[in-house]
Amino acid sequence: MKLGIDDYAQLESPIHQWLPKYKLIGLTALILAFSFVQKLALLPLMAVTTAMFYQTARLPFKFWRQRLQIPGTFLAVLLLLLPFMAGETVLAEIGPLNIYREGLLAVVQISVRFVCILTLGLVLFGTAPFFESIRAMRSLGLPPILADMTLLTYRYIFEIGDYFQSMRTAMKLRGFESHRLNWQTLKHLAALAGSLIVRSYEKSEQVYKAMLLRGYGQNMTVIYQPKPTRRDSVLLSLTLGLAAGILLAEVF
């Protein structure tokens, strides 16, 4: 099981070459600005800006589509109900249900913001090795314990995923059918979840003891940070200026 958020971190593009620390500041500011947008007139600007960043990063379309599939499915279920539940202006009637204008506009607004924010997140973490992103967070003041927990979680979630795949295959070979929803199936799934929790706990203890034997927590050194270039500063200034412009347009 591979999440592969940094599968394309070795590509050559201006976004890949952007200093991770400055990239984290700039794109995070832009994501926050997007999250405050309520005016529909700003949605096209958000979409164009996001598309420009993604195109500049030269990430493949397949990468974007695969990462949006699961969260997009959950969001779609909620958005399908919104036009029938929120609003006062009735646009159409389907039997006993009314489709409201305000609900449809809310669907458009939420969908565009969701796609833009998630896409910028992919650009942020998909254009540099995950370790470099964590190191950038550390340089901005993230506590060491949180940085270590994040890095270890990302590292070992793949191993837990491999455990899950192996156990599920073993259960299928023994005649388990997960598509049948009954009490027996729920008992097997609960046992699978419990086994994963126990294995995760045992693995975390082994890793922590191994880290202690190697001197973890002693003589913590400062991680080297490369100096920003003029291009890094220009990109940061443009991104922060764009974020500020969007916020000002939203306010005024």
Tell me, yes or no, whether 82 and 207 share the same domain.
no
Q: Is residue 58 part of a domain?
A: yes
Domain shared by 125 and 185, yes or no: no
Residues 206 and 240 in one domain: no
Residues 44 and 127 reside in one and the same domain: yes
CA distances from 157 to 19, 125, 162, 163 (A): 27, 17, 9, 10
203, 240: one domain? no
Q: Are residues 237 and 201 in the same domain?
A: no
The total number of structural domains that make up the chain: 2
On whether residue 3 sits in a domain, the answer given is no
Task: Based on the fold, state whether residues 112 and 186 are members of the same structural domain.
Answer: no
User: Would 161 be classed as within a structural domain?
Assistant: yes
**Amino acid 85: pLDDT:** 80
Residue 241 and residue 199 share a domain: no
How long a stretch of residues is the chain? 252
Evaluate whether residue 13 is within a structural domain: no
Reduce the DSSP state of residue 100 to 3 states and report it.
strand
Q: Is residue 42 included in any domain, yes or no?
A: yes
- Shared-domain flag, residues 170 and 204: yes
Residue 150: predicted pLDDT: 86
Residue 181 structural domain: 143-213
Residues 230 and 181 both lie in one domain: no
Residue 1 confidence (pLDDT)? 45
Q: What angle do CA 139, 15, 142 make, to 5 degrees?
A: 15
Residue 79 near residue 107 (C-beta atoms within 8 A):
yes
The answer on 167 and 239 residing in a single domain is: no
5 lies in some domain: no
**Tens digit of pLDDT per residue, the chain (252 long)?**
455 688 899 999 999 999 999 999 999 999 999 999 999 999 999 999 999 999 999 999 999 998 888 888 888 887 888 888 877 887 877 778 888 888 888 889 999 999 999 999 999 999 999 889 998 898 888 888 888 888 888 878 877 878 888 888 888 888 776 666 777 778 878 888 888 888 888 888 888 888 888 877 666 555 556 788 999 999 999 999 999 999 999 998
- State the pLDDT at residue 156: 81
Does residue 240 fall inside a structural domain? Answer: yes
pTM equals 0.82
Q: Give the pLDDT score at 225.
A: 67
93 bridge partner residues? 98
Instruction: Give the pLDDT confidence of 128-158 residue by residue, as tens digits.
Output: 998 899 988 988 888 888 888 888 888 788 7
Looking at the structure, tell me whether residues 31 and 117 fall in a common domain.
Answer: yes
Q: What is the DSSP string of 38-64?
A: --GGGHHHHHHHHHHHHHHHT--HHHH
Q: What is the pLDDT of residue 178?
A: 65
Answer whether residue 7 is part of any domain.
no
